[in-house]
Structure 1
Amino acid sequence: MTYLIDAWLDRPHPYLRILHRETGEVCAVLEEEALNELQEQGDLDVNGLSSSEPLVLKELVRNLFLFCYARALRPAHELQHPIEI
């Protein structure tokens, strides 16, 4: 499968979406709280988002999916706004 990263990080309420390239289906959404957590952990390299290197982007998408799944498994009281996958 091929994915697209749709990221709007320089706005008042940033978000990042992972879209299925062929269907346009939204596969994952990371909003402000999750993006802040990723950046605090050092797991979101904003420069990586603008890379044209396929391996860099593949690794970034993989890490974003893993983060989403790990976050979805946390108890609800640990999150202010749980993310649905």
Structure 2
Amino acid sequence: MTYLIDAWLDRPHPYLRILHRETGEVCAVLEEEALHELQDQGDLDLNGLSSSEPMVLKEVVRNLFLFCYARALRPSHDVHHKIEI
């Protein structure tokens, strides 16, 4: 499967979505709070997001999916996340 990263990080309420390239279906969404958490942890690589290297982008998408899964598994988190593979 191939994915697209749709990132709007320079807005008042930034978000990042991972889309299935062929269908356009939204597979994961990271909103402002999650993006700040990623940045605070040092796990949001803005250079990786703007890379044209397939292996770099694959690693970025992989790490974003892993973060979404970990966040969705937290018992104290009541925000519903859409995560599909």
Count of residues paired in the alignment:
82
Identity of aligned pairs, percent? 85
Letter in 1 for 2:79: P
5+ residue gaps, structure 1: none
Cα deviation, residue 47, structure 1: 1.2
* Contact 1:8 1:16 (C-alpha < 8 Å) held by counterparts: yes
Look up the match of 2:47.
47
Which SS does the other structure have where 1:51 is aligned? coil
2:79 aligned with 1:82: yes
Look up the match of 2:5.
5
Cα deviation, residue 38, structure 1: 0.4
Which SS does the other structure have where 1:71 is aligned? helix
User: In the TM superposition, what are the counterparts of 1:23-62 in structure 2 within 5 Å?
Assistant: 23-62=23-62
| Structure 1 consecutive aligned stretches of length 4 or more whose deviation exceeds 3 Å | none
* Contact 1:15 1:32 (C-alpha < 8 Å) held by counterparts: yes
Cα deviation, residue 84, structure 1: 1.3
Look up the match of 2:66.
66
Which SS does the other structure have where 1:12 is aligned? coil
Cα deviation, residue 82, structure 1: 1.9
User: Which structure carries more relative contact order (alpha carbon 8 Å, separation 6+)?
Assistant: 2
TM-score, normalising length: structure 1: 0.92
Look up the match of 1:21.
21
5+ residue gaps, structure 2: none
Distance 1:74 1:38 in 2: 15
Distance 2:56 2:66 in 1: 15
